[in-house]
Amino acid sequence: MKSVRKLADGREIIYFDSDPSRVRDAVDTRDLPARSPASEMRRDPLTGEWIAMAAHRQSRTYKPPAELCPLCPSAPGRPSEIPESDYEVVVFENQFPSFAQGIPGSLSTVDGMPMVPSAPATGRCEVVCFTSDHNSSFGRLSAAQARAVVDVWADRTEALSETPGVEQVFCFENRGEEIGVTLHHPHGQIYGYPFVTPRTEKMLAAAEEYRAEHGSHVLGDVLAAERVDGRRVVVDSRHWTAFVPAAARWPVEVHVVPHRQVPDLVELTDEERDDLAATYLDVLRRFDRLYDRPLPYIAAWHQAPVRTGRDLSWLHLQLFSVLRSADKLKYLAGSESGMAVWISDVTPEQIADRLRAA
């Protein structure tokens, strides 16, 4: 059950409840300044990629003490972003969005340079709180809770796909201070971008080239080969397989791939969603056992663009960590940052061995 409400500054908040009779009528009592999203995006003329500039994000909440957590439910005298005193899963519009609706301005150029277009960063950014428990994590959710989050991702993917200006929907989670997380409360984010992202453009081009040559989908063929070989498979379930990609770039990296080609989370069946929740929890728990500490990670959902390349897309989750040992970080240095050429000092087969044993 979904209840759509408004926060004090007009942002939308959406409660998702397993109990259809649950009433969500708490009022946001905070005196919030009026919203004035002002993000701009400019296109890099040398690469053709868009860069979003959200200068207002500098003032966002940075590592608040637990008692001031904006993602915990509200308590008497301590209002948070969530007016209710409890919740299951809740989604709200980001207070400091990189992409938003209603940004003034129109397509223009930077200082009259025709090769550098600029435009309002139109889109939408949402925060997803997985649980009201401040000290939990996605990996510690029950199967039913994880399944509820899968449904929320699907719901938001559908909703953002219909939001004006949105061309691609990206569900993701950053976990851990090493990743740059500024709020410890377990949460993820959803971006509705006003363009197809560079990574997706590249994957679509590769899939198109592969299909022209082989008549099949590259990820489908990779999945089949990995499942036959088994060398890099971490979890092989009924509808999903989690494996370390043969050309992994991160010290810990796993792709979680559905056995059926679907463009996005919306298209998954109930059975596939149940199995995804179980498979994902299994992988996340292995992540935390790997170095015997909560592993910082990024979970990135690769979904089809809203309007293009849908038949060339194959939904999958890319899960990776910057930690190459219990206390050593992989830095993106000269080769990675300057040239986008990755150097890895572990083999994907070693990573798969460790994750299977974890």
Clarify whether 185 is annotated catalytic: no
Residues contacting Zn ion: total by CB under 5 A? 5
The minimum distance between CB 32 and Zn ion, in angstroms, equals 19
- Binding map of Zn ion across residues 107-146, x = CB under 5 A, - = no contact: ---------------------------x------------
Return the residue of 13, 26, 71, 254 that touches Zn ion, per CB under 5 A: 71
Return the residue of 7, 13, 26, 72 that touches Zn ion, per CB under 5 A: 72
Scanning 24-32, 64-72, 110-118, 142-150 for contacts with Zn ion by CB under 5 A, the matching segment is 64-72
Nearer to Zn ion, 53 or 69 (CB): 69
What's the CA gap between 19 and 8, in Å, rounded? Answer: 26
167 Cβ neighbours under 8 A, 6+ residues apart: 193, 194, 195, 196, 305, 306, 307, 308
Coil, helix or strand at residue 193: strand
Nearer to Zn ion, 69 or 116 (CB): 69
**Residue 230, both tokens:** 């088994």
Nearer to Zn ion, 69 or 300 (CB): 69
183 in contact with Zn ion (CB under 5 A): no
185 in contact with Zn ion (CB under 5 A): yes
The minimum distance between CB 321 and Zn ion, in angstroms, equals 23
Closest to 149 (Cα-Cα) out of 127, 178, 121, 123: 127
Amino acid at 120: P
Restricting to residues 143-182, name those near Zn ion by CB under 5 A. none
Q: Which of 187, 239, 255, 316 is catalytic?
A: 187
Closest to 195 (Cα-Cα) out of 123, 247, 145, 133: 123
Nearer to Zn ion, 133 or 201 (CB): 133
Nearer to Zn ion, 72 or 222 (CB): 72
90 in contact with Zn ion (CB under 5 A): no
Ramachandran angles phi, psi of 138, nearest 5°: -60, -45
**Residue 315, both tokens:** 């939904």
Give the CA diameter of the chain: 64
What's the CA gap between 49 and 33, in Å, rounded? Answer: 33
Nearer to Zn ion, 16 or 250 (CB): 16
* Look-up of token digits 């904006």: 70
Closest residue by beta carbon to Zn ion: 69
Amino acid at 12: E
Size (the chain), residues: 358
The minimum distance between CB 69 and Zn ion, in angstroms, equals 3
Return the residue of 69, 110, 179, 181 that touches Zn ion, per CB under 5 A: 69
116 Cβ neighbours under 8 A, 6+ residues apart: 42, 43, 45, 109, 110
Residue 245, CB half-sphere, CA atoms under 13 Å: how many? Answer: 19
Q: Which residues bind Zn ion (CB under 5 A)?
A: 69, 71-72, 134, 185
User: What amino acid positions are annotated as catalytic residues?
Assistant: 187
